[in-house]
Chains A and B, each alone.
Chain A
């Protein structure tokens, strides 16, 4: 059964690229150009959330959404991967309890390999 990935990314070019990458590797992709609330995310219930840190025009940043999602009770078990050009991304990822992170610009092979690890 194909895994479902939700992508939150405010740059249309990168969003489309991510869609293409994941679809070409056999994933089902949901995507959003703007931020989503924890409730919306939980309703979609993806197998993985890939999310930018800076989300233009949204009230929360990616890491803030992640922190809320991870703090939700009962736990929803949705894994998060932050995807950003922030230099201190490791610290941001650690602080918001995200499961993984990847720096932009990314290498496709690295990206698919990291994502693949979630269900091995």
Chain B
């Protein structure tokens, strides 16, 4: 064997020194260990290896190669290396090694046994390449792959969860929901729909909306609106339907339908929400009835009280004390207030039941205004009420209702502003409408309250603290003006004052 090698070497005509120079010059790390010595120590390393590992030759000669793994002992590659060396075989591994400074580098290690003439493994040669950058990209790729897989799993789970979430919302809603295809077949119906209309999913899914049940949804007006949704994207909003159902009786329903939009994309589906408002409407009706009966019943004893009080004053003996007279006056004032509150309640209950009756007849607006203001002046002689402008025309409206509005607005202006400030009434004829405005120098109203003050039973918190009342006067005014086809609004500045305005058409 040795001879063979020498012969081969001789054949090449290259001397051994050149071989040594080659090993020393290559930029691949080379380590030779002596397998015949205990623990297979390093006997040689070339400069490329010194460069790669940061160790000097002198540092490592005599050491087993394992120090290169530092404390990173649990590497599968180590097992492979160990097995190859034990069995005198070659192997290729990628192993994590550490430089003298402790910096990790990935070492692509080729280990080959070197045998003597008897075939005994005397040495091992380790060819080493730093593949850290390649390994890094490879690891990065693997990491990305794992991450991507994780993400896909997560997304799928999230999608499943959001799907479950949506389904549970849809199923929990106390509102009936139908998803309808572009040709008006039912794609799905939630539990509330099935329960409310006492139908099974088989009787619903896949059927035409207009064929459901006994054709109860086949309402021409609804059909027209539904058919308009997809071409125009116009929703159906709060459309009331009353229908007699065979198993569940008469139902009043509020329908809302929208084109389904998913992630910003319009689908050719319609979501139809059906709200059963039968009970709510009935409660409203009962409340209105109660309000109406209660106020009417209260009026009768009140009439008696007012009458007896007045009679008492008429029959009061001349010698009655001042104190007694004052008590009688006060009682009368409070009874009058009670009467006004009751009238307001009656008005509200009438408005609620749609019974506000407007009887339009031409009247002299200026004359009505002057008389109404006179009446208020008589009641509050200390207050200055200025009247500006005139309309000089007959107005076709319900005079008693307009008087009610004027008195209410003027009354508020006086009530909610300091006693020493004037209240100004301005009337103007603009085109074919009359505009009425009353301005006070009171505390004013914040913009947030502009619309709310016309709500039923709404009272501005600050006002509530200082003045009694139920907050229905402005609501009644608004209803009266709206019923006349007019508008009512407020303009105000905090601590400067408020102007309440209304317009009504002259011709009615």
Contacts and interface: CB of A to CB of B under 8 A. Distances in A.
Interface stretch (A34-42, A71-79, A103-111): A103-111
Interface of B is mostly: helix
Interface in B270-323: 296, 299-304, 306-308, 310-311, 314-315
Contacts of A104: 299-300, 303
A78 B259 CA distance: 71
Q: How large is the interface on A (under 10, 10 to 19, 20 to 34, 35 or more residues)?
A: 10 to 19
A11 interface: yes
A113 interface: no
B217 to A, nearest CB: 41
A17 B311 contact: yes
B140 interface: no
B301 A24 contact: no
Contacts of A17: 304, 307-308, 311
Contacts of B360: none
B357 interface: yes
Nearest to B300: A11
B299 A108 contact: no
B315 A106 contact: no
A85 B303 contact: yes
B314 A106 contact: no
A107 B307 CA distance: 7
B306 A88 contact: no
Contacts of B303: 14, 85, 104-106
Interface in A12-36: 13-14, 17-18, 20-21, 24
Contact of A85 (B299, B307, B311): B299
A94 B487 CA distance: 31
Contacts of B314: 24, 108
B357 A14 contact: no
A85 B304 CA distance: 12
B346 A87 contact: yes
Which of A11, A21, A108, A109 counts the most chain B CB atoms within 10 A? A108
A62 to B, nearest CB: 15
Contacts of A11: 300, 304
B299 A107 contact: no
A111 B215 CA distance: 62
B359 interface: yes
Nearest to B296: A85
B121 to A, nearest CB: 121
Contacts of B302: 105
Interface in A63-120: 85, 87-88, 91, 104-109
B310 A24 contact: no
B307 A108 contact: yes
Contacts of B135: none
Nearest to A112: B314
B350 A24 contact: no
A88 B307 contact: no
B390 interface: no
Contacts of A107: 306, 310
A87 B347 CA distance: 9
B99 interface: no
A33 to B, nearest CB: 14
A109 B350 CA distance: 29
A91 B361 CA distance: 13
B339 interface: yes
Interface string B48-85: 00000000000000000000000000000000000000
A91 B301 CA distance: 24
A87 B350 contact: yes
A87 B303 CA distance: 14
Contacts of B306: 105-107
A20 B310 CA distance: 11
Interface string B324-347: 000000000000000100000010
A87 B346 CA distance: 9
A117 B448 CA distance: 53
B358 to A, nearest CB: 11
Interface of A: 11, 13-14, 17-18, 20-21, 24, 85, 87-88, 91, 104-109
The 3 closest A-B pairs by CB, nearest first: A105-B303, A108-B310, A13-B304
Given A105-B302, A107-B306, 5 more contacts: A11-B304, A17-B311, A24-B314, A24-B315, A104-B300
7 contacts: A13-B304, A18-B307, A85-B303, A91-B359, A104-B299, A105-B306, A106-B307
